[in-house]
Structure 1
Amino acid sequence: MGSGNWYGVPNYAEFVMFYYNQDLFEEHGVEVPTTLAELEAAMDTFVTEGVTPLAFSGSEYPAQQVWYQLALSQGDRSLVDAFQLYEGELDFTNDAFTYGADKLTEWVDAGYVSTDAIGLPAEDMGTAFISGQHPLMLSGTWWYGRLMDEIDGFEWSSFLFPESELYPGSSGNLWVIPEGASNKDLAYEFIDITMRPEIQNILGNEGGLPVAAEADAITDPKNQELVEHFNRINEQDGLAFYPDWPVPGYYDTLVANTQDLVSGRASTEQFLTSIEQPWRDHVATLAR
């Protein structure tokens, strides 16, 4: 790619949100929650009636994204900038990170998450939701098209995490043109084509998440809902990237330590200490 600053143009986006089984919500008399208290009350209702509320995966990305979303619900842009962009000081025992870890542990203890799911991969989490085993799944928009294709036994929809202004998410892959590219004009034209409203609208109508679609041009109500969620997040500067992005190899660090947290092998303090050191080590290399 060459040295210096890198620039790219995204033509799609992604973020984490709740998917929910409308039939199970109706069967158990549960309304779509608008506050965290309502969310936990809803999950309590399911637990009381013998249903594990949250489809979950402890051996891959979902668990760390649940922790991060819980933390983001208590954080602000300065927290994201410190964690993701190394701007300002970051105390890993801050209220938001601590809240996220404590609350995730509480959710496991309350039965919102099955202890059997701690070792499951993300695929098993998704198929469990698709088969109607759980009323809720907190995960990314990359599931959206698949859910549209594979769910036929119940009605489903989505909602943003209650009482949060920040959400794990970002642009998808970026179109880039290397400095030494021999057909730059053709590449410029290709990028322009993918960003045209009519192409972005096609992407939106196929269950994707375009960055520049016209909401009123999306004909399917579910696809329109997805675009509206993104537009709301984007307009309030609510994309907070993903928790494994700040440090090379951080994904594996978070998987291992989040598993320890939810399985009870690590306390909140131990969890935060364990994920802090690799971050500190990486930031130290940037200062040199």
Structure 2
Amino acid sequence: MTASIVSRAAIALMASTAFTLAAQAEGPISWWYETATPEQQGVITRNIIEPFNASHPGDTLSIDYRGAQLDNQMRVALLSGSGPDIVYTAGPSYVAPMAQAGQLLALDQYAEQFGWNDRILPVFLEMGKYNDQLYALPKTYETLGLFYNATLFEEHGWSVPTTIAELETVADAMLAENIVPFSAGNALWRPTNEHYVTIVFNSIAGPEAVYQALKGEIPWTSEPFVKAIDKLDEWWGKGYFGPNYFSLNGEQQVAQLANGQAGMMPSGTWQFQHINTYFPPANAEAGFVGFPSADDVGEPVFALGVGSTFSIAATSQNPDGAAAAIDFIFSDETYASMNTEWQGEWNTPLKDLSGITLGEGVLPLYAEAMQTLAQSVSEGEYGYTTWTFLPPATVSFLVSGIEEVWLDRTDTVQFLEQLDATFQQELAEGKVPAIPAR
């Protein structure tokens, strides 16, 4: 065979390979999602599915709503080598075990291709890494704080608390008026329990102690955490959480706060999606501030959380299309359209929001809260949510174990001993998510 024939053969082979890769880069893109109401499904369809498919004629993005069973179904599918192209998880704590098992595709080449390294806040890129490779991008970042019924506060002459002592003073005054201090409940979502553990870990133990424990430098049985869980248990025993904790869901919590049956609601920024539904009909105004902190902690701490993440399955037949879909979700246009219609669930961690204009119907309180959170993150002043930074088995124990404390079936020391034992095992197994430095 002559050199020219070899060259022509090589060129033909490369062209054939390029054609095959191009063909693989187009086609169906599957995405499994969690629970969404018909109205919310319509928002996703209008603002993501339809515009992406219209601008990417070679690809067809489709979404399958799996509800509360998403996490279990995703694990089974990935173990069997099937499942969706876009892997949607409940948070970074799920990413490390999946990456460790080789179930996810490293995204570093796509981060370079689409400019994610320049467009996304660096701390969130770090949170999506395992062994120094990027495997996930967070759909939204969130924080916990204190919602309150501003109208009720004004009627009673109460000041919005900024310290733990002030919080307890107001809560005790509410009990005296037969008002539930904390609108709270875990019906339909038992992991709500960890919202309150996260609050006391950061606001009473302090974010520095949480960081040290997450890095394995101090145990979870350390005195700051004993103090935090003892305080949370004290609030439960005093009735701050009301009589219906196990029968109230998230939306009912907002309704109870709006109608004045409760005065405050320790919860996350995802609750902003319900404020306009319940407060105007009740002729009430909502407020939101950072959760008060202990004197030795200082300013209110905004615990940083990621409610869900996007990855690409290692077995995806169209990884390029999946990456393009994720990039579309992280565009300025999608941020504006999704946050206009669905506040609290689509606060993607874009670095620069200056060119984004939200619709007129967006609650000003939401925009202010997001600006405050973005500033806290950019300045490195944040805490750590348990569902984002603890590994899966530790989270699972925390969710059930804190109920045992509240119901007097165990005590603080025993709870923290088991929490620490579970965490130390997962830390040794490399299952702890990446922890951004303070």
- Stretch deviating more after TM superposition (120-129 or 264-273): 120-129
Q: Give, in whole Å, the separation in 2 of the partners of 1:79 and 1:204.
A: 34
Larger Rg over CA atoms: 2
1:57 is matched with: 185
1:135 aligned onto 2:270? no
In structure 1, what is the Cα distance between the partners aligned to 2:410 and 2:314? 47
Q: Which amino acid in structure 1 is aligned with residue 366 of structure 2?
A: N
Shift of 1:53: 0.7
Mapping 1:123-202, distance limit 5 Å: 123=250, 124-151=252-279, 152-153=281-282, 154-163=284-293, 164=299, 166-178=301-313, 181-202=316-337
1:94 correspondence with 2:222 = yes
Is 1:117–2:239 an aligned residue pair?
no
C-alpha change, 1:214 and 1:122, in structure 2 (3 Å) is: farther
* CA distance, structure 1, for counterparts of residue 318 and residue 428 of structure 2: 39
Contact 2:105–2:311 (8 Å) recurs in 1: no
**Change over 3 Å in CA distance of 1:249–1:147 after alignment to 2:** farther
Contact 2:105 2:314 in 1 (8 A): no
C-alpha change, 1:286 and 1:13, in structure 2 (3 Å) is closer
8 Å Cα contact 1:10/1:174 also seen in 2: yes
Given the superposition, is the C-alpha separation of residues 108 and 175 from structure 1 closer, same or farther in structure 2, using an over 3 Å criterion?
A: closer
Query: What is the aligned partner in structure 2 of residue 71 from structure 1?
Result: 201
**Residue 377 of structure 2 aligns with which residue?**
234
1:258 equivalent to 2:402? Answer yes
**Alignment RMSD, CA only?**
3.0
Task: Tell me the TM-score normalized by structure 2.
Answer: 0.57
What residue identity is the alignment partner of 2:414?
Q
CA contact (8 A) 1:56 1:120 kept: no
Could you tell me whether the CA contact under 8 Å between 1:25 and 1:31 is conserved in 2?
Answer: yes
Identity %: 23
Q: How does 1:19-38 map to 2 (within 5 A)?
A: 19-38=147-166
* 1:273 partnered with 2:417: yes
Structure-1 separation of matches of 2:311 and 2:374: 24
Q: Aligned with 1:142: secondary structure?
A: helix
1:225 CA drift (Å): 1.9
Which whole-Å CA distance do the structure 2 matches of 1:92 and 1:194 have between them? Answer: 37
TM-score, normalising length: structure 1: 0.82
Partner-residue secondary structure (3-state), 1:204:
helix
Indicate if the aligned counterparts of 1:201 and 1:210 stay in contact, CA closer than 8 A: no
* CA distance in 1 between partners of 2:424 and 2:225 (Å): 16
Q: Secondary structure at the match of 1:16?
A: strand
Of 34-43 and 51-60, deviating more is 51-60
Deviates more, 1:127-136 or 1:73-82: 73-82
- Distance change in 2, residues 1:77/1:16 (3 Å): closer
What is the CA-CA distance between 1:171 and the residue it aligns to? 2.9
The one of 199, 211, 223 aligned to 2:349: 211
Cα distance change, pair 12–193 in 1 and its aligned pair in 2 (3 A):
same
Distance 2:410 2:388 in 1: 19
CA contact (8 A) 1:52 1:112 kept: yes
| Farther-moved stretch of structure 1 (125-134 vs 32-41) | 125-134
Point out where structure 2 has 5 or more consecutive residues left out of the alignment.
Answer: 1-102, 107-132, 294-298, 432-438
- Structure 1: distance between partners of 2:378 and 2:300: 11
Q: CA offsets, 1:260-287, max 9 Å, x none?
A: 2223333222222232232233334449
Q: Distance in 1 between matches of 2:205 and 2:379?
A: 14
Do the aligned partners of residues 210 and 150 (structure 1) sit closer, same or farther apart at CA in structure 2, a change above 3 Å counting?
Answer: farther
Instruction: Summarize the Cα distance change of 1:38–1:77 in structure 2 as closer, same or farther, 3 Å threshold.
Output: closer
1:42 counterpart (154, 165, 170): 170
C-alpha distance 126-245 of structure 1, shift in aligned 2 (>3 A): farther
Task: Give the distance between the partners of 1:190 and 1:274, measured in 2 at CA.
Answer: 41
SS for the counterpart of 1:249 is helix
Structure 2 Cα separation of the partners of residues 170 and 63 of structure 1 = 15
Matches within 5 A, 1:1-16: 1-2=103-104, 5-16=133-144
Displacement after TM superposition at 1:239 (Å): 4.5
Alignment coverage as a number of residue pairs: 284
Q: Which runs of 5+ in 1 are unaligned?
A: none
Q: Deviations over 1:114-143 (max 9, x none)?
A: 2x2353354454543354321111112222
After TM superposition, the structure 1 stretch with the greater mean CA deviation from structure 2, 50-59 or 242-251, is: 242-251
1 CA distance for matches of 2:277 and 2:395?
A: 29
Decide whether the 8 Å contact of 1:33 with 1:162 is kept in 2. yes
SS at match of 2:146: strand
The list of structure 1 runs, each at least 4 consecutive aligned residues, that deviate by more than 6 angstroms after superposition, is none
Bigger shift: 27-36 or 186-195?
Answer: 186-195
**Alignment counterpart, residue 225 of structure 1, candidates 346, 364, 368:** 368
